[in-house]
Structure 1
Amino acid sequence: MIRPLWHLALGYCALVWGATFYIVKEAVTVVDPVAMVAYRFLLAALLLLPVVLLPFARASLRDSRTLRCGAILGAFLGTSYLTQTVGLKYTSAANSGFITGLFVIFVPLFLLIFLRRPLSATQWVACGVAVLGLWLLTGGGLAFNLGDGLTVLTAMAYAGQVLAADRFARTDANPLVLAFHQFWIIGVGSLALSLLLARPLDVRTEGALWAILLLTLLPTLSAFVIQLFAQRHVPAMTATMIFLLEPVFAALFAWTAGGERFSAIPAAGGALIVVAMAWTEWTKPREPEPLTDETPTAEAAPTRVTDP
């Protein structure tokens, strides 16, 4: 597949992730948020299971190192989805989309804190612009609520997932198997948390049942599988730039299909966050091009998954 088609594939991921914020917002009024995460990821794992049992994926499925990589990615992604889904009970879908997008700011911050990679002056300025945008988005801090706080944790967890995925990128681990491990680990973990906390597991309306099915098929199963394949061919900087469309789509769908009230000041705050995210990405050092189908075999040999 040529590069522009992989770009379109990642654009599809950003679209469905952003477009379904308001659907989750409505669904968690009748389904417990933790149960919602459990159902969509368990069902996604169940649908993917017949594929990963086929001969071409079976060896990777038995690889303990691939399982450990999937577990690490699942832990970060599961934390991200749990905090985001619970947070949607208390904040708007538009706010949730924009605040989640702050993961692009947390990535360089975590690189500085944990890997001692210093930030450039432009990255520090971008962080300040993002904080200003968050302040405007949440009503100058006066309207900052539990949902907004949980969604900041979402952005932090997703940044951790991005850094972990960067470590495991372009290895010989089968992307379908990595996705499968992420799905069942998140699903089982969320279900266990529901049982431990004695959370309700019932789905009280037919509409919520259809919402779970939609969330399983589009933003969970299709988008995460596509992402793992596409990022083998697209540089991380380019992929992240495409993902900046997610909060934009989240706000647009929340203000239109979701029926949320449009307000100029929060919208300006969201725009500043997008500007900061774009600025952070554009000022990164240029990354080497990923391997392509035309790369000579000796250079294109995949790297073996290392013990995390």
Structure 2
Amino acid sequence: MLSRVSSAAASAPAARLTPAVLLALGIVYVVWGSTYFGIKIAIGSLPPLGMLGIRFLVAGVILFAFLRLRGAPMPTARQWGASAVVGLLLLGGGTGLVTLAERDASSSVAAMVIAVSPLFAALFARLWGERTGGREWLGIGVGLLGIALLNVGELQATPLAALLLILAPLCWTFGSQWSRHLPLPPGLMGSAAEMVTGGVLLFGFSLLMGEQWGTPTSASLWALAYLTIFGSLVAYSAYMYLVAHTRPALATSYAYVNPVVAVLLGVGLGGETLGALGWVALGVILAGVMLVAWPKKMPSQTGPEAAAP
């Protein structure tokens, strides 16, 4: 779900690789990497935006109810408004555009394009006064070279799908950076409010686009259930555990792993193909991300920031 490193998380203590940390890492790596393939299956018979509306609204309501039962305070009107802004940019603009693009593009290619999110995050950080150093600029250039190679060799999609795949990480990273300066509800309640408001907005977009609901296949329904339970609840809870118990660079290292998992699933289970130039492009993109995200001073002070579909 929402994948950002807050300023509070930046002070999270470094920790040993305990069994719990390793389990949480495995969940985030595999589950968030598999959501691209899950989306492809879900939209086989479900409308893209309507499917996402169900996914995030159900997950958000479940998490919201759980937190309220645990005594978490109700978000204020101002916090609901900020959550709607973040939900619009991350869930509507980020995940929503990826899902629309996957109608005409493979899940493997979608994951590879979204891998450049940390590069865009470095650019948007300048809007709030964060300095971009020489190595970050080099990483951005390397990542964009990877995208160029991907377009030459593998991006077999309509021009609209290609445009959506570029806009999605722009929306996600801008929303992630802006969210650090908005009055969001604290902790997991912020995620719940963003999913609830984002789900409502996605339903609204679905109605505006005139999406039609037919009879869904069992495969699409199972994929939707997987995305809701594991992609939006389990994996995000595991991610928040990592944020609280280890350094941000490790907690957000999924940015390096998710594209590889997505490609392997798309090729191995989805019958998608990836040529030699595509594998080279994937390596170049990940090299650019590592240049941007590698710690400047202390390992606990920075980490990658990438869209989790």
TM-score when scaled to structure 2? 0.82
Amino acid at match of 1:29: G
Q: Give 1:143 shift.
A: 4.6
Instruction: Say which is worse superposed, 211-220 or 135-144, in terms of deviation.
Output: 135-144
Q: Give 1:229 shift.
A: 4.1
Question: Match for residue 39 of structure 1?
Answer: 54
Q: Are residues 140 and 254 of structure 1, via their aligned partners in 2, closer, same or farther at CA, if it must alter by over 3 Å?
A: closer
Task: Find the aligned partners of 1:44 and 1:219 in 2 and give their Cα distance.
Answer: 9
Q: Give 1:129 shift.
A: 1.0
Q: Are residues 269 and 227 of structure 1, via their aligned partners in 2, closer, same or farther at CA, if it must alter by over 3 Å?
A: same
Question: Match for residue 97 of structure 1?
Answer: 111
Q: Are residues 227 and 56 of structure 1, via their aligned partners in 2, closer, same or farther at CA, if it must alter by over 3 Å?
A: same
Amino acid at match of 1:37: L
Out of 110, 115, 118, the residue aligned to residue 124 of structure 2 is 110
Q: Are residues 62 and 282 of structure 1, via their aligned partners in 2, closer, same or farther at CA, if it must alter by over 3 Å?
A: closer
RMSD: 2.7
Instruction: Say which is worse superposed, 70-79 or 94-103, in terms of deviation.
Output: 70-79
Task: Find the aligned partners of 1:162 and 1:203 in 2 and give their Cα distance.
Answer: 36
Question: Match for residue 207 of structure 1?
Answer: 219
User: Does 1:264 find its partner at 2:302?
Assistant: no
User: Does 1:224 find its partner at 2:236?
Assistant: yes
Question: Match for residue 22 of structure 1?
Answer: 37
Per-residue CA shift, 1:219-250, capped at 9, x if unaligned? Answer: 11222233234323433333333332111111
Q: Are residues 202 and 39 of structure 1, via their aligned partners in 2, closer, same or farther at CA, if it must alter by over 3 Å?
A: farther
Question: Match for residue 307 of structure 2?
Answer: none
Question: Match for residue 302 of structure 1?
Answer: none
Identity rate, percent: 24
Question: Match for residue 179 of structure 1?
Answer: 191
Amino acid at match of 1:136: L
Task: Find the aligned partners of 2:75 and 2:46 in 1 and give their Cα distance.
Answer: 35
The 5 A counterparts of 1:42-57 are 42-57=57-72
Q: Give 1:35 shift.
A: 1.0
Q: Name the larger-Rg structure.
A: 1
The 5 A counterparts of 1:138-287 are 138-139=151-152, 143=156, 145-167=159-181, 173-282=185-294, 284-286=296-298
Out of 111, 126, 133, the residue aligned to residue 146 of structure 2 is 133
Q: Give 1:3 shift.
A: 4.9
Per-residue CA shift, 1:107-156, capped at 9, x if unaligned? Answer: 111122x1243321211111111111111112259856322321111111
Per-residue CA shift, 1:38-68, capped at 9, x if unaligned? Answer: 11112212322431231421x2x24345434
- 8 Å CA contact retained: 1:241, 1:278: no
TM-score when scaled to structure 1? 0.82
Task: Find the aligned partners of 1:178 and 1:224 in 2 and give their Cα distance.
Answer: 12
- Number of equivalenced pairs: 285
- 8 Å CA contact retained: 2:48, 2:100: yes
Question: Match for residue 305 of structure 2?
Answer: none
Task: Find the aligned partners of 2:204 and 2:86 in 1 and give their Cα distance.
Answer: 18
In structure 2, the gaps of 5 or more residues are 1-12, 303-309
Q: Are residues 232 and 63 of structure 1, via their aligned partners in 2, closer, same or farther at CA, if it must alter by over 3 Å?
A: farther
Q: Are residues 62 and 163 of structure 1, via their aligned partners in 2, closer, same or farther at CA, if it must alter by over 3 Å?
A: closer
Q: Are residues 265 and 259 of structure 1, via their aligned partners in 2, closer, same or farther at CA, if it must alter by over 3 Å?
A: same
- 8 Å CA contact retained: 1:99, 1:148: no
Question: Match for residue 306 of structure 2?
Answer: none
Instruction: Say which is worse superposed, 138-147 or 174-183, in terms of deviation.
Output: 138-147
Task: Find the aligned partners of 2:155 and 2:274 in 1 and give their Cα distance.
Answer: 18
